[in-house]
A and B are shown apart, each in its own frame.
Chain A
């Protein structure tokens, strides 16, 4: 599914290396979690994967389902099945949530040479998927993320994910700013999307999200590299002892 090889990335403006050789393979059907202290490069990885400007890839490759995505525009990566649930979802005043969703779904379909979704089918799908995330009709009408609470924003990200049906989902600190109930709701949404054809990369600071979204593999990232990988027990180790033990162990 996703294959990252020796990825080295500089911040474009500062010539400062942020990612210092990341290797990572996520197979279809698997959930990988990346944990790590602040400033380890986790969010940068998610931005570089999705094609945000401001980063310069100096070395390495990113392959998604046999295509090299480094040369692709962000929208082409999206159409190829890459989805990023943002840590800070952006507000777009005046644009209805529903309009936004429909525009996005149809843009991806168009890019893949598929027919646009009919208004009725779309409405049906949205209602269905929104209700399981406890997103009501009113929230669908409101402008994208404007005046949404932290929990609403994150649920809205998961709704977009459910509608776009991506192959590779990246969740960037989706648990930040959520209370326990909201986190459970988000986790339920994510779990319902887990299937054999879909890969997940869950970026988080804390073990608690991983209680609800059970990972197959846990990676620890520090200073721009993945320093240790293991099973779910690795996340528990972090929870109990913090990062310093692991870091001193690999140093």
Chain B
């Protein structure tokens, strides 16, 4: 769709119609904000703020000390500059590190007690926090029978989790699914054992920062032999202005267990950039399997590149056990700047790591994203399928590491990196790093770059599709391998997102 500003208003068309059309066609659907009374920690970051966050969460001393250790380290290290993204220097002292709705000062005992304004927020986002059957934002289509699958949701609003659904039903199955702050209080033995064991506090600048100031996030524990009875999901919403969101997710899949976990994110439209630095740690024991799917739709900034979320995320899975398996699937359509490399440490023999990614950048968005597959165990396997799509003035980089250690004999990797360009002012880059330290492993890398072809678009239009629909069809075709890896609900949402995020990229 051409920009609405350039459209002449025809006679007989009233403002309401124009607004309605604008809303339907408008690019970012989630850019509104919730007017709610908030409580902030003072601006800036020092040891006192770290202690305050810990105190707000009623944390035990060991947790406070852990945070302070991270903070002390963070003060000594520098922001990394090696990625292919440009952004103005972030003033870390000009941010709020903790913001929660006042009504959450006393944690509601059940969802019924949660502030209706917060419930309405998630309702508007299409995530009603009633224990509904489907993760909404996604309408049940004719192929999906209603009620076929359940999705439990942990809803995180700025710095706090406002509630988690289906807890009782999950508890009956032995699954623990709650906010991380609750887990620190209720299940300290698990948190102590696993927190920081995959992404240590020394890992990298943003992970260290997160370790010091993370306020909430989700915690999942699947006991041995349990197949989680429903999909689990966390929905992150940034609402407050000038506030960073630092969430921490910890997922433990014990021996022989299985879980599929979904993550969604949105934020209001603002002309100042906002910081998001999350850490996700996944531990996969023997014969266990974890699927982790993300649809990242943070506000990408406006057409001129103002505002948007700076997304610096560390996600890593540690496949510790024999035949353990992890699959990362991500659809990245949002954020002004994305710096994110969901990785797999393939420690167990015959362990498997998979990474499927679609990264779409339009206007002035920049993405530097990819994965690391570190093969330590014998006969371990990994597969990487990355699809980068650039439009407007955007820059899209795939950066990936495949490392075969000496002990990882007879291991295999297959990497496929495809880039698609729309227009001639955007860029696509592929930066693969490959290290092989044994002579029985095999690494394959394929990369392609193509353009959305005028002939393809004309062909589609001759058959009756408009230009936007034609682009969406061609791009969805390009992304098919990855879309297929998503759970059904997400796949449909992702297909629509692909179309929405490319609006205005042609013509």
Binding site for B on A (CB under 8 A): 50-53, 73-75, 77-79, 83-84, 86, 89-95, 99-100, 103-105, 107-108, 111, 119, 143, 160, 164
Contact = CB atoms under 8 A, between A and B. Distances in A.
B469 A92 contact: no
A103 B465 contact: yes
Contacts of B481: 94
B362 to A, nearest CB: 20
Contact of A164 (B464, B474, B478): B464
B72 interface: no
B459 interface: yes
Contacts of B462: 50-51, 74-75, 77-78, 83-84, 86
A94 B461 contact: no
Contacts of A100: 460, 463, 473
A172 B476 CA distance: 29
Contact of B461 (A78, A91, A99, A160): A78
Contact of A107 (B142, B465, B478): B465
A93 B451 CA distance: 12
A78 B463 contact: yes
Contacts of B464: 75, 78-79, 104-105, 107-108, 111, 164
A119 B63 CA distance: 56
B466 interface: yes
B477 interface: yes
5 contacts: A73-B461, A78-B462, A78-B464, A100-B473, A103-B469
B424 interface: no
Nearest to B472: A103
Interface in B430-469: 453-456, 458-467, 469
Given A53-B458, A103-B469, A92 B474 contact: yes
Contacts of B454: 53
B479 interface: yes
Contacts of A86: 459, 462
B465 A52 contact: no
A131 to B, nearest CB: 21
A89 B459 contact: yes
Contact of A94 (B459, B466, B478): B478
Nearest to B483: A94
Contacts of B455: 90
Of the candidates B460, B462, B466, B478, the one having the most CB atoms from chain A within 10 angstroms of its own CB is B462
Pairs A-B, 9 closest by C-beta atoms: A94-B477, A95-B477, A108-B464, A94-B480, A104-B463, A74-B461, A90-B459, A78-B464, A107-B464
Contact of A75 (B453, B466, B474): B466
Nearest to A160: B463
B461 A75 contact: yes
B479 to A, nearest CB: 7
Contacts, number: 78
Interface in B391-449: none
Contacts of B473: 92, 95, 99-100, 103
A147 to B, nearest CB: 14
B461 A119 contact: no
Nearest to A74: B461
A93 B458 contact: no
Given A94-B479, A95-B476, A164 B463 contact: yes
For B460, B464, B466, the residue with the greatest tally of chain A CB atoms inside 10 Å of its CB is: B464
Contacts of B453: 90
A104 to B, nearest CB: 4
Interface in B460-507: 460-467, 469, 473-474, 476-481
Given A78-B464, A94-B480, A103-B469, 4 more contacts: A51-B462, A53-B454, A79-B464, A94-B479
Given A74-B458, A92-B456, A143 B465 contact: no
A240 B285 CA distance: 79
Contacts of A164: 463-464
Nearest to A143: B477
B41 to A, nearest CB: 48
A99 B469 CA distance: 13
A111 B461 CA distance: 12
